[in-house]
Structure 1
Amino acid sequence: MTAITLQSTLTCPECGHSETLEMPQDACQWFFECKGCGAILRPKPGDCCVYCSYGTVACPPIQRGSSCCS
């Protein structure tokens, strides 16, 4: 079994601010407020969460091979 990575670096598409965060292990995060510019990040169409859209690592449920976050 492959280890699940719990940290991902989110990069704001508005201002470029990056922040490394610990992801929830069993859920998706649908909103995130950028600490650089205050923009509210939401998943891109087809992605389940902000980590899958703007992070360096997909969320843990996707890493485990789940088709969707619950």
Structure 2
Amino acid sequence: MTDIILESVLTCPHCGFAKQETMPTDACQFFYECEQCKTLLRPNAEDCCVFCSFGSVKCPPIQQQSGCCGQHG
């Protein structure tokens, strides 16, 4: 079993601002407000959370290949 990475760098697609955040292990984060431009980020259609869409590391459930709570299908 591989170690789960809990830190991910979220990069805003609107202004390019990047910030390291700690990912929740027991829930998906569907919204994230960019500190710089205040844009509210939402996951891309094919992703379960903002970390999967805009983070440097996928969320813990995806890392564990157990699926994510917001994943469809």
Taking structure 2 as the reference length, what is the TM-score of the superposition?
0.92
Secondary structure at the aligned position of 2:19 is classed as strand
The residue identity in structure 2 corresponding to 1:41 is: L
Matches within 5 A, 1:1-70: 1-69=1-69
Report the identity percentage.
57
Taking structure 1 as the reference length, what is the TM-score of the superposition?
0.95
- 5+ residue gaps, structure 2, are none
- Total equivalences in the alignment: 70
- 5+ residue gaps, structure 1, are none
CA contact (8 A) 1:34 1:40 kept: yes
Q: CA RMSD in A?
A: 0.9
Question: Where does structure 1 differ by over 6 angstroms across 4 or more consecutive aligned residues?
Answer: none
Tell me, in whole angstroms, the C-alpha distance in 1 between the residues paired with 2:5 and 2:38.
Answer: 26
Superposition deviation, residue 3 in structure 1:
0.2
